[in-house]
Structure 1
Amino acid sequence: MQSPLFAHTEAQSQDRYTLQNPQLLRVALTGHDDVLARKGTMVAYQGLIEFDGEYQTQGQRRARANTGEGLDLMRCSGQGSIFFANLAQYVHVMDVDHDGLTVDASYVLALDSTLHWEVIAVDSQYGISGSGKYNLNISGQGKVVLMTSGQPLMLHVTPDKYVNADADAIVAWSSSLRVQMQAQTHSSGVWRRRGNTGEGWELSFLGQGYALVQPSEQLPPQNAVVGQGMAAQFGMGQQGARGQNQGNIWNN
């Protein structure tokens, strides 16, 4: 059998996290180092792997109920390799150090089970699409895998050079940064976008750290409802996943 497809073979590496291509991640497990991943993102695996729903503490469940922010995770354990992907989004592996990382839950693909996460409030009294008034603060020592729609931009924030980012495009930032949310507008209703510019809420980052921005102002359709009945079950017609997502930028 011959095909150009055979050029897309598994990338060999001794690392725990290895990008197979910009949109596909491999995680190697050795039997004592579980990984937590977004539910439903496993596309293949090799070896003896078990998948279990991840327990959430009472505080995490309460925060999810009150804010809508949280992680729907599965615990992956055993020995072997697991391949993760989500809607062909670009995948990025980041180290979480003592500064911590603040991120919208919708952009988290996987993380080390040793990391801790909690819901925090962003400086706003309004609910904002994209980066809402609640986000996740991930702390500890380990790696977290983020997703972006397109290749992102990492901006360096310093005390003499602060950064402003559209609240719908920001993905994550250093938890050590001070954050202010604002909508500079001449309209009487601050929730309306700025006149005819199409721009709305923005986040200002001050201090020392980094801010990650994606080239898109839309969130991926996580857990999209695909309709009802047999047609939807098999992904056909207007009730299927394709019918529900015509023109979606994550359909390639």
Structure 2
Amino acid sequence: MRWNVSAAVLCLLVLATACSNPLDKEPSSAAIPAGCGDCEAEVAALVETVEAIPGVEAVSSTRRTTRGVPVAYLSVGLDLAGKDVVSTDVGAVADAVAEAAWRSDVSPLDVLRLEVELRNGYQESDGYAFGADRADYEERWGERPAGSEWSPVPEGDDLEGCEIDGCRELMRDVAREVSALSGVRAVLRSDHGSSSPTNASSADIDVRTDGTDVTEQVAEIVWRSRVTPIELITVTTSTPDGGFPDQVIFQVDPRTGRDHDRLEEMWGPRPVE
């Protein structure tokens, strides 16, 4: 499903989920309907439903955000029962949780964000832009409960490739392939980061190894994938001894990336640029 929301909206969502937000002291944004407000009872009922979904071990956190943002958010932390991204269909479980949220009485619910963690430490974030993609979700799951309200949809950006939806399934495929490398104990993260005024687009892979240097092998898997756009490939490796993680950043922008030509000579052209 498309993320047809502006980069500013996404940045505010990160702020809302990653730290204490001083904007919480402000009243709800004027454009956001009153709905159920903080929706404590409605969120509690949703948590009960979600924890009964096969594959969900527990809901670790919830955060309702309507202050200082243009649309209404709900963020849900999920501990899944699965061991790792290879043996777990993370996408299917995330979609089941999203459907439960869609059918819940939490209103307005313009954006749902899921923070997922598996038993081996793998983490990912999944976004569902219910408001921006309302017609798509209505076709998929029917209309939301009677009386559900919606905030006005912010004007969208000209997004492309993984900037639209984070290429979640492609990044999971990367994680599964990396998991099969000799020396890799676990893949802890496999995310696409969209470009912004302060950050380049990137594919970010975190792995735990037995000490084997797999950095270039991981970068090659990303290079040969259809994940796009990426200006940077960031590979972070940690070892069981608990030492400080090593991080290598490959600059792969075909116009300005200092590593692009060297990697292209080694591995051939990317399937997509």
TM-score for the superposition, normalised by structure 2: 0.28
TM-score for the superposition, normalised by structure 1: 0.29
More strand, by proportion: 1
